[in-house]
């Protein structure tokens, strides 16, 4: 049976934990709003970009001269997995879910006899993948210093990936990130970025005949690398929003649990105090009776 003083200390410490988790939840909520805004802002660009790319890809795609970024290298022997996670923990299952998806994917590819290479973005994913797939890691992008993800960060990652592609280091690249649905649900997603895949545009839209300046192939060659950066950027933004959402709900849970714990401890504290008082009374009364 813990003493009264122990219980009191315990309650105090859980109370301060609750304060911290509550504060973290509020910070995450504010950050989530900003992250969602950023994702919202980038949407028009991504949508238009993909529409144009789908148009272009449809008209050039079939020819032999199509760029490698679109048609692929003709093999899928070496696979690059770009695993994007957060730099900080305490956000529920967010990082584990992405890492788990990447792990199953990697294991499946290995079982098929393909070579797997892993590029990690974000410290947490690297730590989780280190144990099983540490030897497959080809690089890590550190975004610890980045407060707000900008397009330049995505460009940096894209540049690195494209340089590896041009160097013939891999054939297929897939990014792993969590798609933001709402605060309680983030879906870990795998998306192939090289060779590029675009959703086909709706039938009537494709009927517009555009003049291309310079020619279609030159435009495509110019835009495909940008497409990689754009996709990485939107994945980073989605991830940012998902991370904050996951943290918010994790911290909300933690705050609630702390509250429950405080209630339980308070009842225990009151009971023991009452027991002590009753004990003292019995002693006094029986002492008086003995006289």
Partner 1 sequence: MADTVQFDLVSPERRLASAQVTAVQIPGADGDMTAMAGHAPTITTLRPGVLSAEGPDGTTDYVVTGGFAEISAEGISVLAERAIPKADMTKADHDAMVKEAEEALANAKEAFANEPGPVDDAAKLLADMVAVGDHISV
Angle at Cα 137 formed by Cα 167 and Cα 179, nearest 5°? 95
Q: Is 214 in the site for partner 1 (CB under 8 A)?
A: yes
190 is a catalytic site residue: no
Among 213, 288, 289, 291, binds partner 1 (CB under 8 A): 213
Query: Which of 214, 192, 6, 176 is closest to 94 using CA atoms?
Result: 176
Among 5, 208, 288, 289, binds partner 1 (CB under 8 A): 208
Binding residue count for partner 1, defined by CB under 8 A = 27
Angle at Cα 17 formed by Cα 270 and Cα 185, nearest 5°? 120
Query: By CB under 8 A, which span of 18-26, 80-88, 203-211, 249-257 interacts with partner 1?
Result: 203-211
* φ/ψ (deg, to 5) at 287: -65, -40
What track of x and - describes contact with partner 1 for positions 61 through 100 (by CB under 8 A)?
A: ----------------------------------------
* φ/ψ (deg, to 5) at 28: -65, -35
Least separation in angstroms between residue 201's CB and partner 1 is 12
* φ/ψ (deg, to 5) at 182: -155, -170
Catalytic position from the list 24, 28, 53, 91 = 91
Least separation in angstroms between residue 91's CB and partner 1 is 24
Least separation in angstroms between residue 33's CB and partner 1 is 16
Q: Is 269 in the site for partner 1 (CB under 8 A)?
A: no
For residues 122 and 101, give the distance between their C-alpha atoms in angstroms, rounded to a whole number.
Answer: 16
Q: Is 212 in the site for partner 1 (CB under 8 A)?
A: yes
Query: Which of 144, 165, 143, 170 is closest to 154 using CA atoms?
Result: 143
| 3-class SS letters over 14-50 | HHHHHHHHHHHHHHHHHHHHHHHHHHHHHHHHHHHHH
Q: Which residues are catalytic?
A: 91
Which residues form the interface with partner 1 (CB under 8 A)?
38, 41-42, 44-46, 48-49, 52, 56, 150-151, 154, 208-214, 218-219, 222-223, 226, 230, 233
């Amino acid at each position: 049976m813990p003493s009264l003083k122990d219980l009191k200390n315990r309650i105090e410490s859980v109370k301060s934990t609750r304060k911290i988790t509550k504060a973290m939840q509020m910070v995450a909520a504010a950050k989530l709003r900003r992250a969602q805004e950023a994702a919202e802002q980038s949407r028009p660009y991504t949508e238009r970009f993909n529409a144009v790319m789908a148009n272009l890809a449809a008209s050039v795609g079939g020819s032999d001269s199509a760029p490698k970024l679109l048609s692929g290298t003709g093999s899928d022997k070496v696979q690059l997995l770009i695993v994007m996670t957060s730099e900080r923990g305490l956000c529920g299952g967010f990082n584990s879910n992405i890492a788990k998806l990447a792990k199953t994917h990697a294991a499946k590819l290995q079982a098929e006899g393909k070579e797997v290479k892993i590029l990690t973005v974000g410290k947490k994913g690297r730590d989780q993948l280190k144990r099983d797939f540490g030897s497959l890691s080809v690089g890590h992008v550190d975004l610890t210093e980045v407060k707000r993800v900008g397009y330049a960060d995505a460009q940096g990652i894209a540049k690195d990936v494209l340089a590896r592609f041009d160097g013939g280091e891999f054939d297929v690249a897939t990014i792993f990130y969590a798609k933001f649905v709402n605060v309680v649900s983030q879906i870990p997603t795998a998306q192939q970025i090289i060779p590029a895949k675009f959703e086909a545009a709706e039938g009537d839209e494709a009927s517009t005949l555009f003049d291309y300046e310079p020619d279609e192939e030159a435009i495509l060659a110019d835009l495909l690398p940008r497409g990689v950066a754009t996709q990485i950027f939107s994945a980073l933004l989605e991830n940012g929003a998902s991370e904050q959402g996951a943290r918010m709900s994790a911290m909300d849970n933690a705050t609630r649990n702390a509250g429950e714990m405080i209630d339980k401890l308070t009842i225990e504290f009151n009971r023991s105090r009452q027991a002590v008082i009753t004990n003292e009374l019995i002693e006094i009364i029986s002492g008086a009776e003995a006289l």
